[in-house]
Homo-oligomer: A and B are copies of this chain.
Amino acid sequence: MADCGADTTLAFEPRFDEAGLITAICVDDADGTVLMVAHMNEEALSLTRRTGLAHFWSRSRRSLWKKGESSGNMLSVSEILVDCDQDCLLVRVVPAGPACHTGRRSCFYRRVTDTGLEMVGD
């Protein structure tokens, strides 16, 4: 992690990558459980801040995506934190339902073992 001055400033200067995206980790505001990881472009971040509901950029669909727009499982944003080099966001959310498209609370429901994956999530 480069020491780039971004780590001391109190100016919010998110560093979008060459594709114009920043990684957003969504954690449950209740207990910090990591629910999902997605990406925001400038518009998605702006909409998230303005509406208080998480918006992302879908890389596969190449479109703006309001989380929960079809499923109803929206994510209400409590707080956004930024990391030292301002290239990653930590979004604390109150989820309206399962965050994962599989219907599970979290996208991280499998553990890596020596031989493959093992289910651990609910």
Contact = CB atoms under 8 A, between A and B. Distances in A.
A37 B12 contact: no
Interface in A51-108: 58, 60-61, 79-85, 88-90, 100-102, 104, 107-108
The complex is assembled from copies of this chain, and their number is: 2
Nearest to A104: B84
Chain A interface size, as a band, is 35 or more
Interface in A3-44: 3, 7-12, 23, 25, 27, 31-34, 36-38
B37 A34 contact: no
A118 interface: yes
Interface in A102-122: 102, 104, 107-113, 116-120
A90 B102 contact: no
B88 A109 contact: no
A83 B36 contact: yes
Contact of A117 (B12, B23, B117): B12
